[in-house]
Amino acid sequence: MRKQIVAGNWKMNMTFPEGINLIQEIINNSTSLKEAQLIISPPYLLLNEAVSLTEETNIGIAAQNCSDHEKGAFTGEISAKMLSSLEMKYVILGHSERRAYFGETDQLINQKIKQCLTNGLQPIVCCGEIMEERENKEHFNVVAKQIKGMFERITAEEFDSIIIAYEPVWAIGTGKTASPDQAQEMHHFIRETIRNSYGSEIANNLSILYGGSCKPSNAKELFSNADVDGGLIGGASLNAKDFIAIAYSF
Ligand code: PEP
């Protein structure tokens, strides 16, 4: 059975003390949560503390990025091996902000996925179209191309630890959410695409998260779809009560 997951992407928000408070608040409010696996993704600055504070809980920790290189003279970068030495589990890769502002391509994301897999980290891999692509009815082709490029030469055995997040770029941070039908249609398409490449067992076990202005008021409707296995949450993950309310929406 595939996992239901609610993952919070904090992006470049929270000072060190603010972040510690938010982690503590999330821990305090989620002690009886059974419905979903919670994951939080604070900035690098807070990862070590986040791992220690959540040690006895059911909360997983994700980084928001990692280098495509193993090690060496790459000033400012953090490698998958370094992250894995913190005993954390997940890394968000291919977020549309990394594609738009840092020029990340499917090929680069593919290298990062390989670094994560080599180091025992589970990538949460993002895909999604911009509004113009949807209006031109190119959204399925765009997502299929992203998937093909990002998972090139990833074996079925390796793919087992992948989580995919469908995040229509037009819905991220805009307050515009994909309708439950739009989300289901694309999630189903992604699952079938993976089924064609990796077979039914892997496709059926794959968690596909929806991201894009997901909040307590719309999470239930989105998560009730057969192929929507949870959410990747940006803005609403910075408020512990909203974040936990989303996780209780299954
Ligand atoms: C995101 O950035 O991954 C995201 C889904 O953001 P928001 O929830 O704020 O739209």
Q: pLDDT truncated to tens, each residue of the chain (250 aa)?
A: 899 999 999 999 999 999 999 999 999 999 999 889 999 999 999 999 999 999 999 999 999 999 999 999 999 999 999 999 998 999 999 999 999 999 999 999 999 999 999 999 999 999 999 999 999 999 999 999 999 999 999 999 999 999 999 999 999 999 999 999 999 999 999 999 999 999 999 999 999 999 999 999 999 999 999 999 999 999 999 999 999 999 999 9
The CATH number that applies at residue 166 is: 3.20.20.70
Q: Which residues line ligand 1 (CB under 6 A)?
A: 9, 167, 172-173, 211-214, 232-236
Query: What residues make up the domain containing 56?
Result: 5-247
Q: What is the pLDDT of residue 36?
A: 94
Name the residue among 82, 129, 90, 145 with its Cα closest to residue 113: 90
What's the distance, Cα to Cα, between the start and end of the chain in Å? 15
Q: How many domains does the chain have?
A: 1
Q: What is the pLDDT of residue 35?
A: 84
Please, how many CA atoms are within 13 Å of residue 78, restricted to the half-sphere of its CB?
A: 14
Q: What is the pLDDT of residue 190?
A: 98
- For residue 231, the ligand 1 atom closest to its alpha carbon is 5
| Assigned token pair, 250 | 């299954």
Q: Could you write out the DSSP letters of every residue in 70-96?
A: SSSS-TT---HHHHHTTT--EEEE--H
Protein residue closest via CA to atom 8 of ligand 1: 234
